[in-house]
Amino acid sequence: MQTSGVTTGQLRAQVGLCITVALLMNGSTGLVCYTTVESLDLGCLLQWDCPHASPNTTYTVQTKTQGDPWQDVSWCVWVSSRSCDISQAFSNFELYNMIRLGVHLSPSSTVWIEPRKFDYSDFTFSAPSVLVSLKDDELLVQVQFPCAANRRCSLERCCPISELIDPWTTVTVYNNLNHSEHQSRTVWTQEVVSYVELSGLAPGQNYCAVANFSFPTFSMAASPKSAPRCVQTVSKSGLLPVMFLGIGLTCLLLVPLLTVFLRRARRAAPAAEPQPKTPASDHDPVSLVPLPSVPVDLCDIHVEFADDRNLLQSPLQPGPDLHPGKHQ
């Protein structure tokens, strides 16, 4: 009976040990870890607390993107710290991203805490900055986004979050003297910098612009509003002195130019003088010679046709007699 009791006690101890190990592997008893995620501008900092773990316990962090297997975060393998910056582990925020913590109970035994998602519900953003410029009655607002903590693009330069996501950007313009006069416009930003134009501004007023943005399709993950930037529109009465000044300057420039031009035109114009007649060329077939006023007898004019050429022969040249009977 004593032997049987010892055997029964050993069996109970072994069963209890197996149950304890099973519970530890499930992370439900004896090994409880609390994980939190902080995310600012698409960064990701995982922190954990395992109250019942030994001070010498080491940890490993793994990540998983939708469609891919679990992968170790190379700089957070077998570490004794209680946090891990895994900002560089994620690059596609349109897919599901998962994180899990592994607790090393021994060199050959690791307990994986239940994974958690990393998505828009964890996101927080810094406020953007705005620049404003006025053209006629239109206000152009340029929105610049904060640098992403995710350093996928480069470690040496600012990587705006708009290089990683396409945020919804909302710009609000209001009258600084009458806040009830305001207008807003929301655009889907697909460029690194967002430009928004607003019109219908009243002259002679002071307008301010603010902007904020949110994660695509999830307005709950939105940034705070930017600091306001203001601009003064020109009043109509203020335009008159400017117009008169412009007209006066134009006249001052044009009058001397016109005076110089007219003087040069007068100097270049020649005095009106009678032009000499051009003498007739000796090679002209017919010379215009004034006819004498002496009467000419038509009988003294002779015409000759030879070799199909028409020749005009003067009375001084001899020619065949067209009237032979008259001289017989």
pLDDT in tens, 121-150: 999 999 999 999 998 778 999 999 999 987
- On the question of pLDDT at 238 being above 60, the answer is no
Under the banding of pLDDT at 50, 70 and 90, the label for residue 8 is: very low
Class of domain 10-119: mainly beta
Q: What is the pLDDT of residue 122?
A: 94
DSSP of 49-63, one letter per residue? E-TTS-TT-EEEEEE
pTM assigned to the model: 0.62
Average pLDDT value for residue range 92-104:
94
- Which helix or strand (DSSP H or E) is residue 266 part of? helix 236-268
Residue 134's beta-bridge partner residues?
139
Are 238 and 205 contacting, i.e. CB atoms less than 8 angstroms apart? no
Predicted local distance difference test score (pLDDT) of residue 148:
92
- Based on the number of CB atoms within 10 Å of its own CB, is 156 exposed (0-12), middle (13-18) or buried (19 or more)? exposed
- What are residue 262's phi and psi, to 5 degrees? -65, -40
Which residues contact residue 136 at a Cβ distance below 8 angstroms, ignoring those fewer than 6 apart?
none
Confidence band of 152 (pLDDT split at 50, 70, 90): low
Judged against a pLDDT cut of 50, whether residue 328 lies above it is answered with: no
As beta bridge partners, residue 129 has: 144
Q: Do the Cβ atoms of 135 and 29 come closer than 8 Å?
A: no
Question: Is the pLDDT at 231 greater than 50, yes or no?
Answer: yes
Q: How confident is the model at residue 5 (pLDDT cuts 50, 70, 90)?
A: very low
- Residue 21: the pLDDT is 39
- pLDDT of 243: 53
The rounded distance, in Å, linking the Cα atoms of 86 and 298 is 128
The domain limits of the chain are 10-119, 129-235
Answer whether 10-119 and 129-235 agree in fold.
yes
Per-residue model confidence as pLDDT tens digits over 38-55:
999 999 999 999 999 999
Instruction: For residue 275, name the pLDDT band (cuts at 50, 70, 90).
Output: low
User: What is the mean predicted confidence (pLDDT) over 217-246?
Assistant: 78
Q: What percent of the chain has pLDDT over 90?
A: 49
**pLDDT of 291 strictly over 70:** no
How confident is the model over 61-73, as pLDDT tens digits?
A: 999 999 999 999 9
Mean pLDDT computed over every residue of the chain? 77
Structurally, at CATH architecture level, domain 129-235 sits in Sandwich (2.60)
∠ CA 214-227-153, nearest 5°, is 50
Amino acid identity, residue 30?
Answer: G
At 226 the pLDDT is 98
